[in-house]
Amino acid sequence: MAVVVHDFTETAAMTFAIPFADRLNNVETSAIRELFKLLGKPGIISFAGGFPDSAMFDVDGIREAVNAALTEEAGGALQYGATEGYQPLREQLAAFMTSKGAKDVAANDLIVTTGSQQGLDLLGKTLVSPGDKVIVEGPTFLATIQCFRLYGAELISAPVDGDGVKTDELEKLIAEHKPKFVYLIPTFGNPSGAMLSLERRKKVLEMAVKHDTLIVEDDPYGDLYFGAPPPPSLLALSATVPGSRERLVHCGSLSKVLSPGLRVGWMVGPADLLAKATMCKQFSDAHTSTFAQATAAQYLKAGRMPATLDKVRKVYAERATTMGNALRRELGDAIEFVQPQGGLFVWARLTGAGGKVADGGELAKRAIEKGVAFVPGAPFYARNPDHATLRLSFATVGLEKIEEGVGRLGQAV
Ligand code: PMP
């Protein structure tokens, strides 16, 4: 898939210095963008993207949903709408959350956002003043790091293992830093692929109450499990930990399971926080596209989601297994990783065994020469990057190409 990266090259004619806001000093263009520019090279097999596979999109279902949206309520689908979201979609999303165990979420307990990315931005806008501390996982989603930094957050990294964030360490960091909030991707995190254990989920919620701390659960991948379902989301579990619900924000998204182009996400949280987020959203995009919202509402109403989920889970599961097996075979002791149980990514660490390459950035360059791309892991750390790490996405590559790509990676190592 082509990745378009704008290259706003400076020209000699640019003599005017734009008076940028100071907040831009806190962020920089990601190193990964440079890598993406190389992906257009012919013949490259790319494990670098963070996208779902376009071939998985239920085009017929979405076409029917568009038709239904225009036939049944063209006014709602094409007119300006409420900033909180298109009410039929809020109802469908509440029902979707209920079907996933968060039984007490009502339509008015959530607002619709333009992708969950906008939810993160609204959290930055409403909660972060310059110098505020925010705890994130190390590693975490790159755009979150950039987004919170844009608002001046000082990010603290909590270490992660195969079972997700290490709750003992997290508790120490919360006690020490008293953060504005803690941002976690508990289920098949990007990039870690890790799944937070049930025991740790309960501890996180108990910690929220004990330390009076706001927790943000970002959950765009929770539906993409390969075998048994993951433990309940923090949102669903919060019903069992008194006091935790009012200290919890949950961001959801249709991007990874239905279509990222629709830009439909949502945010569940305390009413006063949602009210302020809605006010900020009003100044930003007025509301998420009513056309996209009405389409998503019709899609969910038509009951197509379970079949779509079954299909994508099967395809991604097969790709994940193929990639895991190929990595073990082709790279042997040069690499270590936990086989993902869901999501889109294998998160791996170069061991340097036998004097082999141990730096993800160095390997990425060599790999491009061999015709395979992935993303080095270091940029995903807000602090103290582990340069031996890498993120490999199996989502958009067919089984044969996965084998071939991992073979090339083996040569590069
Ligand atoms: N959070 C995480 C962890 C993600 O990986 C992504 C997409 N890569 C997003 C949020 C944003 O997704 P969207 O805005 O498409 O819902």
Which position has the token pair 């961001």? 251
> What is the percent of the chain where pLDDT is above 70?
95
Give the least confident one: 31-45, 129-143, 146-160.
31-45
Distance 218 CA to ligand 1 centre (A): 8
The tokens describing 357, both together, are 């390459």
Q: Which residues line ligand 1 (CB under 6 A)?
A: 50, 115-117, 141, 185, 190, 218, 220, 253, 255, 260, 265
Pairing of strands 154-161, 164-165: antiparallel
> For the chain, what's the residue count?
413
pLDDT tens per residue across span 217-259: 999 999 999 999 999 999 999 999 999 999 999 999 999 999 9
Quick one: which atom of ligand 1 is closest to the CA of 119? 14
CA 413–ligand 1 middle distance (angstroms): 30
Ligand 1 atom at minimum distance from 253 CA: 16
- Kindly give the distance from the C-alpha atom of residue 49 to the centroid of ligand 1, in angstroms, as a whole number: 12
pLDDT at 39: 73
Q: What mean pLDDT is predicted for residues 40-44?
A: 85
Q: Which pLDDT score is estimated for 40?
A: 73
Q: Each residue of 12-30: pLDDT tens digit? A: 567 899 999 999 998 887 6
Which numbered atom of ligand 1 lies nearest the CA of 140? 3
What pLDDT shows up at residue 262? Answer: 98
Helix (H) or strand (E) holding 216: strand 214-218
Q: What number is the average pLDDT over the span 367-376? A: 96
265-306: pLDDT as tens digits: 999 999 999 999 999 999 999 999 999 999 999 999 999 999
- Confidence tier at 2 by pLDDT (50, 70, 90): very low
Crossing angle of helices 115-127/271-284, nearest 10°? Answer: 110
**What are 30's two structure tokens?**
């990601």
Instruction: Output the CA–CA distances (angstroms, integers) from residue 88 to 38, 82, 106, 157, in the order listed.
Output: 43, 12, 12, 39
Distance 110 CA to ligand 1 centre (A): 18
Which residue among 251, 256, 375 is best mutated to probe the pocket of ligand 1, counting the most ligand atoms within 8 A of its Cβ? 256
Ligand 1 pocket test target in 93, 255, 345 with most atoms within 8 Å of CB: 255
pTM over 0.90: yes
